[in-house]
Amino acid sequence: MRLIVAMTGATGAVYGIRLLKALQHLGVERHLILSRWAEVTIVKETGLSVSEVCAMASVVHAPDNQGATISSGSFRHDGMVIAPCSMKTLAGLRSGYADGLIVRAADVSLKERRRLVLLARETPLNEIHLENMLALSRMGAIVAPPVPAFYNHPQSIEELVDHTVGRVLDLFGLEMPQLKRWAGMRPDKDVAGRPHVGVRRNG
């Protein structure tokens, strides 16, 4: 299996890094593109150097190399993830303005009907952000903002991040062994595991 991972300058560089590590563990070929601002967030947020992150990839492509293999639809791959995806990159992709390799490779993934997952990150969201996400979803991209889950009782930031990454892997049919899935609630017990006594009235 071969995937493209792009990291842009939204906060949350850790998502791209954990994704690269998980894919490496699973033996997936990883083509990495870092935007200039991703390089800044990597250093500011993670304590890792850019070269340490690049070392997690099978192939690293320069963000302005429009002649890279992944710039062409003839280069076969199994999908692309932008983690995290800034609102600027989202806007470029929505409008088809592929002035760098990240948007070009994503644009190609869309036209070739390959899986494209966007960990779009901003808050709060304005109308432009929301419209761009809706439009891209309608075009076939999967908009998967990195929003943490709490039903699995995460004990660390790493566990919070891994849950999101595990759900991204799910979208490619890949399994993260440590992913704690929702196991369902028994209809005869309440959320704390006590026997159900119907509606509780206080006061």
Ligand X SMILES: Cc1cc2nc3c(=O)[nH]c(=O)nc-3n(C[C@H](O)[C@H](O)[C@H](O)COP(=O)(O)O)c2cc1C
The binding site for ligand X (CB under 6 A) comprises 8-11, 35, 37-38, 40-41, 44, 86-89, 121-122
What's the gap between Cα 47 and its chain centre? 20
**Radius of gyration of the CA atoms of the chain, in A:** 19
d(C-alpha 58, C-alpha 60), whole Å? 7
For the bound state, the minimum distance from the C-beta of residue 111 to ligand X, rounded and expressed in Å, comes to 20
Query: Among 182, 147, 142, which residue's Cα sits nearest to residue 165?
Result: 147
For the bound state, the minimum distance from the C-beta of residue 170 to ligand X, rounded and expressed in Å, comes to 23
Pick between residue 8 and residue 164 the one whose CB is nearest to ligand X: 8
Please answer whether residues 116 and 102 qualify as being in contact, where contact means their C-beta atoms are separated by less than 8 angstroms. no
d(C-alpha 17, C-alpha 141), whole Å? 21
For the bound state, the minimum distance from the C-beta of residue 92 to ligand X, rounded and expressed in Å, comes to 8
Residue nearest to ligand X (CB): 9
For the bound state, the minimum distance from the C-beta of residue 100 to ligand X, rounded and expressed in Å, comes to 7
For the bound state, the minimum distance from the C-beta of residue 54 to ligand X, rounded and expressed in Å, comes to 16
d(C-alpha 181, C-alpha 115), whole Å? 23
d(C-alpha 75, C-alpha 65), whole Å? 15
Pick between residue 77 and residue 132 the one whose CB is nearest to ligand X: 132
Residues composing the chain: 203
Pick between residue 39 and residue 162 the one whose CB is nearest to ligand X: 39
Pick between residue 32 and residue 87 the one whose CB is nearest to ligand X: 87
- Beta bridge partner(s), residue 80: 4, 116
Pick between residue 123 and residue 202 the one whose CB is nearest to ligand X: 123
